[in-house]
Chains A and B, each alone.
Chain A
C-alpha cells in the first residue's frame, strides 16, 4: 500500500502539538500541585488561592489540544476526507512546532513561577494577585506561540 505522506505529516503535527504542550502542562501543574498541597497542609483556607495558581500552567495543554484539533479537522483526519498533498501535510506539521515547543517549555517555566507564587501566598495571602500576574507573564509566550501556530495552520491551502 502506498503511504499517504500528507496525512501522515498532518497527524504527526497534531500529535506533537497535543503531546508536547500537554506534557508541559502536566509537569507545570504537577509542580504547582505539590507546592499547593504543602501549603494547604499548613493552612486549609489557602486552598482557593493555591488552586487558581495551580491551574495557570494548565492552559498550554489546552492550546496544544486546540492546535491539534484544528490541524486534524483541516487535514480531514476526523472525517477521513480526501488525501492531502505532502506539501500541505508538511506545512501543517511545521505549523505545530511553535505551540509544541513553546507550550512544553513555557508550561514548565510557568509551573516553577506558580510554585514560587504559591509560597508567596502562603506567607502573604493578600498578595495573591501579584503572584498570579507573575505567573501569567510567562504564559504570554505560550499565547504568542498559539497565535502563530493558529495563523500558520489557517494559511495552509488544502486540496
Chain B
C-alpha cells in the first residue's frame, strides 16, 4: 500500500547538528531535501567523498590478497559505531597502500619502457659504432633506416657514390646508407620509391649492443624492486580486508550524512532541515530528536499542491519482495495505487505455468531457500530470491498439474496408471492448454480493468468507472459468452444471444459516453468509435498469453529431449561402452538439466514480468513516482544492527 508522506521542517541549534543527523540516519525515515543555497558544508562533503574513493581504491588493492568468500556467506553484522573504530587505522593503511601502488605502477611502466627500447634496438645489435657520434664526417650524409627485404636488391641501383650496409636478417632489415652531401637529394628521392622508413637512434651513448646490455641491467634492478614492492604490498594488505571494509562502510555512512548536511540552510546559531517523512514514522522521528535536545522546532504537515512527495510503499512481508518486480518497471505515482499486492499472486501463478516442471520447481525452490537462509540477502537480490522461491513452489504445483518431473512423465516415475497429469496434458491436448492460458489471460486483464474501476470510484469519478472500464468488462465477457455455444456442445444457443447483448450494451455505452467531455454529438460518437477500436488491443493482449504455453513446452520438451539423448548414450549393447555411457550420461544429465533450469527460469522471469507490465499494468497502473531515499545506513559490506 502507498504510505502518505508528510513534509517536515526542523530547526535546531548548530551545535546539535551532527548528533541530530546521526539519530535521523539511525531511524532511516527522513529524506532530506535541499533547503536553499548554502555552501558552508561543501568542503566537508568533498572530504567525505574523497575518503570513500580512497577506501574504495584501498579495498581494490587488498581484495586479491584476501581469502575468497563463499557465494553463500552471509554478510558480517556490526553496530554503526563499531564500524567507525577502524577509521584511523584505515586512513593510514590506505595512504600506505596508495604510495606503494604508485611506486609499483611507476616501476612497472619504467620496466615496460626499457623493454620497448630493447626491442627497438635488437635489429641494430650488429651496428658497430656509437649511436650518437657515427655521423662523423661533415661531407657525408648518412641515411639510417629500415628497409623491406624485397627492396634490398633494388639498392644496387642507387647512386654509384653511395655506400650501404645492412645489419640484420629478416623481413625488415636495418640499413645505413652513406653518400656525399651533393648526392643527398637524389638518394633521398630514390629511397622514397622504396619501402624505406627513417630510424632515429634513442638518445643513449655507446653502440646499440652496449645500450641493450645497460637497459637489461637496469631492468634487473627494477624487477628486484618490483618484487620487493609487491611483497611489501602483500604484507600490508593481507588480513586487512575486514578492517578496510568496515572503514569503507563507515566512510559511506559519513558521506551520506555529509550529503544531507549539504542540503541544510544555516543561520549564525541554527540550522534548518527540510525533508519528507512517511506519516507512520512521524513519532519515531520526533522521539529520536527529542532524545538529543529539547531546544528544537519541528513542523510536520501535509504536502501542498505543488510539492511532489516521493513514492513509498509498505506491504505485508509476503508481498514485499514483489515490490522489486514493480520497481523494475516504475514506482507507483504517489497519488495512484500500489499495484504490487494485486500483481504478486498472478506473478506466482503465471511463473509456475511457464516452467511447469515439478523437478525444476524443486531445484529452484531449494536453491533460493538456501540462498535466503545462508546469505540473508537484503534489498534487490533478497527480493528477487524470494520471488523466485515462490515461483519455484508454484512451478512444483503446476508440474503435477501437467504431469512432468525433470522432463519425465509422473506416471512412468511413480508407476501410477494415468493418474497424472492432474489437470491437462499439453502434449496430448494442446488446444485445451491454449484455452487455459487464454482464460488466465482474460482473468488477469479483466482484473486490471476492475482495478481501474476501483481507482475511479475511490476518486468519486463514477462516470469514468462505468463508461470507461465497466463497459470493457461487458464487451470482453459478452464476446466470450457469445462464443461459448459454438465451441462447447450442449450449451443452449440463447446463451449466445445474452453474450451478444452484453457486448452490445458495452459498445453502446462507449459510443455514447466516451466523448462525454464534448457537447457535440458527432465528436462524441467519433471519439467512441476510436475507443471501440481498442478491441484489437484487448485481442492481442489475450493472445499474448499464448507464451505461457509456448514457454511451458520449451521447458518440458527440451527436458525430455535431454533425457532421450542421455538414454541413447546409455543404450549401447557393448558392456564397456555402456558403463562409459552411463558415467558420461549422468554427468551430462546434471549439466544439461542445470542449463535448462537456468535459461528457462530467466525466460519465465522476464516473460512473466512482461505480462505484468504490458498486459496488466497497462490497464490501470499509474507509474512515475520517484523513489523515497531516506538518510540511512547504505553499507555495502556490513549489516548495521542497531535500529
A-side residues, CB < 8 A to B, are 52, 55-56, 58-59, 62-63, 65-66, 69-70, 73, 78, 129-130, 132-133, 136-137, 139-140, 143-144, 146-147, 150-151, 154
The answer for the CA separation of A113 and B359 in the assembled complex, in Å, is: 33
Q: Is the CB of A146 within 8 A of B554?
A: yes
Q: How far is the CA of A58 from the CA of B564 in the complex (A)?
A: 22
Q: A66-B557, A137-B610 are in contact. Are A144 and B550 (CB under 8 A)?
A: yes
- A158 CB to nearest chain B CB (Å): 15
Rounded to whole angstroms, the CA-CA distance of A156 and B22 in the bound complex is 72
Q: A133-B328, A143-B547, A147-B550 are in contact. Are A62 and B610 (CB under 8 A)?
A: no
Is B544's CB within 8 Å of the partner chain A?
Answer: yes
Report the number of A-B residue pairs with Cβ-Cβ less than 8 Å: 66
Whole-angstrom distance between the Cβ of B611 and the nearest chain A Cβ = 10
CB-CB contacts below 8 Å: B592-607 with A:
599, 602-603, 606-607
Q: Is the CB–CB distance between B599 and A59 below 8 Å?
A: yes
Which B residues are in CB contact (< 8 Å) with A70?
Answer: 557
Chain B 572-607: CB-based contact to A (< 8 A → 1; otherwise 0): 000000000000000000000000000100110011
Query: B430 in the interface, Cβ–Cβ < 8 Å?
Result: yes
Quick one: given A65-B558, A133-B609, A133-B610, are A144 and B547 in contact (CB under 8 Å)?
A: yes
CB contacts (< 8 Å) of A151 on chain B: these are 430
Q: How far is the CB of B35 from chain A (nearest CB, A)?
A: 27
A147 touches B549 (CB 8 A): yes
What are the residues of chain A within 8 A of B609 when measuring CB–CB?
Answer: 129, 133
Give complex CA distance A59, B595 in Å. Answer: 12
Q: Which of B550, B561, B602, B606 contacts A65 (CB 8 A)?
A: B561
Q: Does B613 contact A (CB under 8 A)?
A: yes
- The residue from A55, A66, A130, A147 contacting B599, defined by CB atoms under 8 A apart: A55
List 7 additional A-B contacts (Cβ < 8 Å) besides A73-B564, A130-B328. A59-B599, A66-B558, A70-B557, A129-B329, A133-B613, A136-B607, A154-B430
User: Which chain B positions have C-beta within 8 A of A144?
Assistant: 546-547, 550
Chain B residues near A52: list those with CB within 8 A: 602
A59 neighbours in B (Cβ, 8 Å): 554, 599, 603
Which one of A62, A78, A130, A140 contacts B544 once the chains associate, using CB atoms below 8 Å?
Answer: A140
Q: Which residues from chain B contact A63 at a C-beta distance below 8 Å?
A: 554
Residues of chain A within 8 A of B549, CB atoms compared: 147
Question: Which B residues are in CB contact (< 8 Å) with A56?
Answer: 602, 606
Q: Give the chain A neighbours of B607 by CB distance below 8 A.
A: 136, 139, 143
- Residue in A73, A129, A154 with the greatest tally of chain B CB atoms within 10 Å: A129
27 contacts between A and B (CB under 8 A): A55-B602, A56-B602, A62-B554, A62-B558, A63-B554, A65-B561, A66-B553, A66-B558, A66-B561, A129-B609, A133-B328, A133-B609, A133-B610, A136-B606, A136-B607, A137-B610, A140-B547, A140-B610, A143-B551, A143-B607, A144-B547, A144-B550, A146-B553, A147-B547, A147-B549, A150-B430, A150-B550
A146 to B555, CA, bound (A): 12
Q: A58-B599, A59-B603, A154-B430 are in contact. Are A147 and B546 (CB under 8 A)?
A: yes
- Interface pair B606/A133, CB less than 8 Å apart: yes
CB distance from B221 to the nearest CB of A (A): 33
| Residues from 114 to 145 in B contacting A, C-beta threshold 8 Å | none
In the complex the two chains form, is A150's CB within 8 Å of B599's CB? no
Task: Give A66 to B560 CA distance when docked, in angstroms.
Answer: 10
When distances are taken between beta carbons in the complex, the residues of chain B under 8 Å from A154 are 427, 430
